[in-house]
Structure 1
Amino acid sequence: MHYVMSDLHGEYEKYKEMLSLINFKDEDVLYVLGDVVDRGKHPLRIIQDMMRRPNVIPLIGNHDYMCLISLYYLMKEINDTNIQQFEDENHLEIIRLWIEDGGQPTLEEFMTLSKTDREEIIDYLGEFNLYEEVCVNNRDFVLVHA
């Protein structure tokens, strides 16, 4: 069976409840159409659950994109070679906008993780597709976060 979810926004309990309601199995496929992170209490629990499931296909939403850019930037080590990048007002503005638009819970949860887990989450977010073409029951679909 094929399933589609979108705009989970950190609502881990609702995500798990929905998986239970549809009796999601290993042979099923779930497309998550973006905005997994931000606003809710546990966006990274959702991400970590999705990471463990090869049958969950994530697409990137605007919140996921801003999160990825911000977390990648915040994880960079500051040294003599790249110090000027950290003075770039554009990066700081993106982070500010992300936090104001619901990114605070994601950032707070991110900071509780180990460095390895943080790096894995950034890598995983970077693998989200923009769109997915799917054929189900001889019908073609283009899935996007729009």
Structure 2
Amino acid sequence: MHYVLSDIHGNKDAFDTILSMINLQPEDHLYILGDVIDRGKYGIELLQQIRTMQNCTMLLGNHEYMMINALRYPENLHYQQVWRNNRSLDTFDKYFNLTEKEQEEMLCYLESLPVQLEITVNRRKFILVHAAPQELYETENMASYNFNEFIVWYRLTPFLQMPARKNVIFGHTPTEQFHQSMHIFHGKRMIDIDCGCGFPNYGGQLGCIRLEDMTEYYSNDGVFTKEEAAEWLKTHIM
């Protein structure tokens, strides 16, 4: 089975809850679309945990991108300020509690992360990315953006034309901005899975989707089949 989640934002309890729900088996694979760190307290611990998971692939998010820039270029005050303004204090403090060897290993791990992957499940093609797919950068005249920043920072809207015959799964933009709900959003060839885990005080939670049958898992609300999720949204859209 193939599972996808995004934007844990330091919430280890939510991540461990999802892991207990999906009961990941050796033949399964979990994809995490970035933003493991910041806002919550346990970003560094989560990175350490995820690095040890043999059947897990993490992609780069904008918060890891900020972390790399701030730590690789400490003389750059802009990089420091941008990361600090995005609630990185716990991540920063715990990073510097690591040994120098552990710090370097963690940065090298983050620098090795892909920014986009394509997978096929049951003959359906999926693009996995943190914020916006490379194909959109190439076709929508986004040349004014730096490519790496575009792919981890750009905000998608339901009106953008996604790549033909592929389904883009992304995080970065909380789903409530698409349908006023902290549940997974299904649009035309796009699936937003950032259910606001970085904002638990506003009803956010961690969402995860199983690609074989579109079953949805939520750290607060439990498990929904494809049909149950659709029915829930009919009665819970604000």
TM-score > 0.5 by shorter chain:
yes
Q: Please point out which of 73, 85, 101 is paired with 1:100.
A: 85
TM-score (norm 1): 0.85
Give the structure 1 partner of residue 20 of structure 2.
Answer: 20
The aligned amino acid for 2:104 is E
Deviations 1:12-64 (A, max 9, x none): 12111111111112221111011111111010111111111121111111111
The answer as to 2:128 corresponding to 1:140 is no
If asked which structure has higher relative contact order (CA below 8 Å, sep 6+), I would say 1
**Deviations for 1:59-115, whole angstroms, at most 9, x for unmatched residues?**
1111110011112234xxxxxxxxxxx3xxxx2111111011111111011011111
Distance 1:111 1:124 in 2: 16
> 2:98 is matched with which residue?
113
Q: Which aligned segments of 4 or more residues in structure 1 are displaced greater than 3 angstroms?
A: none
- Give structure 1 stretches of 5+ with no counterpart: 75-85
State how far apart, in whole Å, the 1-side matches of 2:72 and 2:26 are: 31
Distance in 2, matches of 1:128 and 1:141, equals: 18
Secondary structure at 2:27's aligned position in 1?
A: coil
Alignment root-mean-square deviation, CA? 1.1
User: 2-side partners of 1:125 and 1:34: how far apart?
Assistant: 10
Q: Distance in 1 between matches of 2:62 and 2:47?
A: 15
Matched residue, 1:6: 6
What's 2:210 paired with?
A: none
Which 5+ residue runs of structure 2 have no aligned equivalent? 132-238
Quick one: which amino acid aligns to residue 120 of structure 1?
E
- Measure the CA separation in 1 of the matches of 2:16 and 2:71: 25
Name the residue aligned to 2:50. Answer: 50
Percent identical residues: 39
Choose 2-11 or 110-119, whichever is displaced more: 110-119
The structure with the largest helix share of the pair is: 1
